[in-house]
A and B are shown apart, each in its own frame.
Chain A
């Protein structure tokens, strides 16, 4: 099992690395790049904690091999936080108590931002549907839906 060289962009930075084929993208981000905001929960695509963006689209980092990301552009929660893209969404999560332990939060934020980019005025039902692949074991979801809904509202009023 020989390592393969991959070249990709992570949060705007060019990265080259040697990886074993079995390494998934979530573990690559966490262990090779120390970007530990991408969380690993179920490791079979059910919980959504490892959600990241690849070439602008959200994906499960646990269901993708690092070698498959060769040539791609990955954005993690660190990238979205540092750029300020989700600052208002993060503030809304905090204000609405939409997180407790915080384990699901990076995935929730990335999935919610994905929805808000596609739909500026989502219904609560549409928010629920878009986040249906992200488990939260603390909040009971209501506060998360509230936070996404209020962020959508405040973005519309600023637009």
Chain B
């Protein structure tokens, strides 16, 4: 049953993609209406700040950490046995 449901969802991943993008749009709209607490720093006052923060940090992490990995940290799996 579970397997069939997951397979069904996977086969309709295009629909899921649009649902996901709609959700992203919704979060920004939701942020416009959200009641704000006393700001800790400037980011708390900008609408949609955390969506920009999330995207930028996520992309930066992938680029920086994968860059470090590919150019320095990556070694063969038997590195310590050699």
Q: Do A and B come from one complex?
A: no
